[in-house]
């Protein structure tokens, strides 16, 4: 399947990576604060990673599908309005075109050109009156795959140190190190695509992930009594 890397795809990847780097990092930190075996932290982290990836992907799928369903419902409503009250809809087309500066013969010609095809007329109203673009029918699946996949990729970073059989504290410190670097780099890349200053975006992303992990770790240490 050929996926185009567009703005929506970049947004989905950012969402998945952001949560993937943060949530499993915080969970692993919390487990490391209460459990003395790295493999238990890893198993718990992998369970969360699988559940989180599926949940994030499914959530993205349902959200994108809902957008598509909304578009179809609005298009059907617009088509009914064209059938039931065409004069009012023609007047709306005229007002929209006047807003673009058309007048006199040019205005009348454009109006007649638009209303000559009812399907095109309805699509014109969807875009110009409601501000709705026709969604890609594959968007729901694409969103699910990119969000879920990015979550798995992001979550594998903080969990990877626990896979080498290191003492839990060693694995924890290594996880903090590699995840901190990943958060800083990801924040900078995100800033590049969102037009936020790179340093600001990098530090904000790092702080969010760090605070979540610190809170989970300290709570686990407090409850676990270590």
- For 217, the 3-state DSSP assignment is helix
The pLDDT score that the predictor gives to residue 170 is 92
The pTM for the full model equals 0.76
Nearest Cα residue to 63 out of 12, 14, 28: 12
State how far the Cα of 161 lies from the Cα of 43, in Å rounded to an integer: 12
Task: Write down the domain spans for the chain.
Answer: 7-58+140-224, 72-128
- For 6, the 3-state DSSP assignment is coil
State how far the Cα of 1 lies from the Cα of 4, in Å rounded to an integer: 10
State how far the Cα of 193 lies from the Cα of 20, in Å rounded to an integer: 18
Cβ–Cβ under 8 Å, residues 214 and 208: no
The pLDDT score that the predictor gives to residue 2 is 47
Q: What is the pLDDT of residues 201-220, one digit of tens each?
A: 888 888 887 887 777 777 76
Strands (E), the chain: none
The pLDDT score that the predictor gives to residue 128 is 85
State how far the Cα of 107 lies from the Cα of 127, in Å rounded to an integer: 19
For the record, the structure tokens of 172 come out as: 């924890």
Q: What stretches in the chain show pLDDT beneath 70?
A: 1-6, 220-221, 224-226
The pLDDT score that the predictor gives to residue 27 is 85
The pLDDT score that the predictor gives to residue 5 is 59
Q: Token match 């790179």: residue?
A: 198
Q: CA 44: distance to chain centroid? A: 25
Question: Is the backbone of residue 171 left (phi > 0), alpha (psi -120 to 50) or beta?
Answer: alpha
Q: CA geometry: angle at 219 spanning 214 and 224, to 5°?
A: 130
The pLDDT score that the predictor gives to residue 7 is 73
């Amino acid at each position: 399947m050929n996926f185009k890397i567009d703005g929506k795809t970049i947004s989905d990847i950012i969402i998945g990576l952001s949560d993937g780097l943060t949530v499993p990092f915080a969970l692993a930190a919390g487990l490391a604060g209460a459990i003395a075996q790295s493999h238990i932290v890893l198993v718990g982290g992998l369970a969360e990673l699988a559940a989180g990836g599926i949940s994030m992907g499914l959530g993205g799928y349902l959200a994108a599908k809902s957008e598509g369903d909304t578009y179809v419902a609005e298009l059907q409503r617009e088509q009914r309005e064209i059938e039931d009250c065409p004069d009012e809809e023609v007047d709306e087309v005229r007002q929209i075109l006047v807003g673009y500066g058309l007048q006199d013969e040019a205005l009348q010609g454009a109006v007649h050109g638009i209303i000559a095809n009812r399907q095109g007329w309805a699509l014109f109203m969807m875009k110009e009156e409601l501000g709705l673009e026709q969604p890609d029918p594959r968007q729901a699946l694409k969103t699910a795959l990119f969000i879920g996949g990015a979550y798995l990729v992001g979550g594998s970073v903080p969990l990877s140190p626990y896979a080498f059989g290191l003492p839990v504290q060693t694995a924890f410190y290594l996880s903090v190190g590699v995840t901190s670097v990943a958060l800083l780099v990801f924040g900078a890349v995100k800033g590049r695509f969102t037009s936020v200053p790179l340093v600001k975006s990098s530090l904000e992303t790092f702080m969010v992930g760090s605070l979540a992990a610190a809170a989970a770790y300290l709570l686990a240490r407090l409850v676990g009594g270590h």
